[in-house]
Structure formats: structure tokens, C-alpha cells
């Protein structure tokens, strides 16, 4: 066999390997994009407002089937777009132009988690039509007149240091952080349009699991026992 023939075969094998690698990587990216677009997406937790359920640095997996094919429920932990003036502007990260492109592409296809620049994560306390109030004689939140015993609230925190009574509007939610003493949630934005509620249309999805770091792997429930006695409005 001539040296030229062997070189051609080696070149052909290399070309085949490159082609196969491109196909595999391309397929993986397309599948990741489809999954991110229609099913699940990862998000990064930047603050302590949901402690002890979630801590800063957690990565959570969010199902985009809720709301949609699966209805929202009281107790769901949801990610939503800033409904307006809830978040302070986030400084731009110090990256090169190439770094920005790489991060944007990997985030777009779902490989990297979304950052917190335009999103918040809180627990749904009130659904459309619910009357949410604080507090009863024992210092508990009430929904439609029924007091809540909330095991997910940060140890030592009161259910709320603010008194309020709100009727949640149609197609809106009343949301609160589990770390009530460190969460600027619906209570803090009652002076804004919507009275502190979040439009359902702004909800990205329901957080279903902590996926990073490995020591924090866990499913996220919605504590149905807390709300089982609450009547429909």
C-alpha cells in the first residue's frame, strides 16, 4: 500500500470522526433546546429569600408544563418574570465579547441555567379570587378565612411582619418567600399596579427539583396538607 493511499485513508477516518462529532453535538444541542423550550429549564438561586427550601447557589429544574397542561396550585414554588420594579438593575458581568456569546448560546439552549437578572422565585400562597390576610390571633396567615400552619417558613420567622388583606385578582397570584424576614415578595409591592400580585402570564414554570450542588439534590413539593382545608373562593 502506498504512502499516499494510507494518508488518504487516515484523512478519511479523521473527516468521518469530525462529521460524527458535529452530528452528535448538534443533535444534543437541538434536543437540549427543545427540552428547554417545551419541558424544563434550569435556574440559579441568587438570594436567601426562599431559605430553608432553597439556598443561594442552588440550581433548580423548572417544569414549563405548569401553568399550562398542569394547573398551578397553592404551595407551588414558581419562577416568574419580574412583573415590574421588583428587582434592582443587575450589573453586567465582566466578560469578553466571546465569553458573552458563549454564555448566551449555552443559556439559550438550556445547558447553563438562567441567571437572576429578570426572574424571581417564590411560593404561591393565593390563587385568583383568594383572600389572603395576615394575621389571625395566633399570628398565622389565612387564605379564604382558613389559617395556615406553614412548615416551610424559615425557623424563627413570623409568617409575616406586615398586616394585610388582599383579594387576588383574576389571572394573578399572591406569592411569598419562605424566608419571610428576607423576602421582598408580594407584601412589599402592594403600591404597584396589581397590588403586589403576579400575573399568571409572567410565570415561567414550577420548580420541581434542586439539581445542583449534589449535596442538595432534592424534589420540591408544594405541601398540599397546608392548604387542604382552604375552600375555593
Residues designated as active site: 49, 122
Beta bridge partners of residue 61, listed in sequence order: 42, 209
DSSP letter at 35?
H
Say if residues 230 and 74 touch (Cβ distance below 8 Å): yes
**Residue 34, C-alpha cell as written in the block:** 427543545
DSSP output for 106-159: HHHTTSSPB-SSSEEEEEEEE-TT-EEEE--TTS-EEETTEE---TTSPTT--S
Question: What is the DSSP pairing of strand 59-63 with strand 40-44?
Answer: antiparallel
Amino acid at each position: 500500500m502506498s504512502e499516499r493511499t494510507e494518508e488518504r485513508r487516515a484523512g478519511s477516518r479523521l473527516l468521518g470522526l469530525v462529521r460524527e462529532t458535529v452530528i452528535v453535538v448538534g443533535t444534543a444541542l437541538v434536543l437540549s433546546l427543545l427540552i428547554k423550550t417545551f419541558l424544563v429549564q434550569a435556574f440559579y438561586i441568587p438570594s436567601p429569600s426562599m431559605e430553608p427550601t432553597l439556598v443561594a447557589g442552588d440550581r433548580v429544574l423548572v417544569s414549563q408544563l405548569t401553568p399550562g397542561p398542569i394547573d398551578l396550585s397553592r404551595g407551588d414554588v414558581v419562577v416568574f418574570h419580574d412583573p415590574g420594579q421588583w428587582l434592582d438593575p443587575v450589573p453586567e458581568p465582566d466578560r469578553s465579547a466571546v465569553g458573552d456569546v458563549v454564555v448566551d448560546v449555552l443559556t439559550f439552549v438550556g445547558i447553563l441555567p438562567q441567571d437572576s437578572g429578570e426572574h424571581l422565585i417564590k411560593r404561591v400562597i393565593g390563587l385568583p379570587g383568594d383572600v389572603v390576610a395576615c394575621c389571625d390571633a395566633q399570628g398565622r396567615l389565612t387564605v379564604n378565612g382558613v389559617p395556615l400552619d406553614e412548615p416551610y417558613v424559615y425557623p424563627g420567622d413570623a409568617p409575616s411582619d406586615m398586616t394585610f388583606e388582599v383579594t387576588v385578582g383574576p389571572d394573578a397570584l399572591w406569592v411569598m418567600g419562605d424566608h419571610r424576614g428576607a423576602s421582598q415578595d408580594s407584601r412589599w409591592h402592594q403600591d404597584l399596579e396589581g397590588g403586589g400580585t403576579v400575573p399568571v402570564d409572567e410565570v415561567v414554570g414550577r420548580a420541581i427539583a434542586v439539581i445542583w450542588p449534589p449535596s442538595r439534590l432534592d424534589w420540591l413539593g408544594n405541601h398540599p396538607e397546608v392548604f387542604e382545608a382552604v375552600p375555593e373562593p
